[in-house]
Amino acid sequence: MPRPDLWPGDIVWAEFGVPIGREQSGRRPALVVANADYLEVVTELAVVVPLTTRDRGWDNHVDVGAQLPRPSWAMTEQVRAIDRRRLGGLIASADDETMDAVRAWLIDFLDL
């Protein structure tokens, strides 16, 4: 059953499945980047970015470590829609500053 109670900025467990190429895979935290209207209307999907604990020093990897037990970064170059059945429990919530930084990269990457 899809997870119905998502909110922008939620950091949840996600099962990304088998990767192709440079995609992230397996079970890992993900940051919900879809807005509240999307999450209300599109009830079976969520738009997320995976998190990583590897600091690559890339400007587009947004630090979300203050909300998690280990230093972690949102991988804004890997935004994707994911079925909510792949999502598990809430881990934490990103603060407004983190979400603003992630949105700025998504706006840039997606030419919005």
Each residue's pLDDT expressed in tens, for the chain with a length of 112 residues: 566 689 999 999 999 876 676 667 678 999 999 999 999 999 999 999 999 999 999 999 999 976 788 899 999 999 999 999 999 999 999 999 999 999 999 999 988 8
Residue 1 lies in a domain: no
* Residue 18 domain boundaries: 10-110
Residue 80 lies in a domain: yes
* pTM reported for the whole predicted model: 0.90
Residue 83 lies in a domain: yes
Give pLDDT, residue 23: 63
Helices (H), the chain: 36-41, 96-110
Residue 4 lies in a domain: no
Beta bridge partners of 78: none
Give pLDDT, residue 96: 94
**What is the C-alpha end-to-end distance of the chain, expressed in Å?**
32
Q: Total structural domains in the chain?
A: 1
**Which of 106, 79, 104 minimizes the C-alpha distance to 24?**
79
Residue 76 lies in a domain: yes
- HSE toward the beta carbon, residue 14, CA cutoff 13 A: 26
Query: Residue 83: which CATH number?
Result: 2.30.30.110
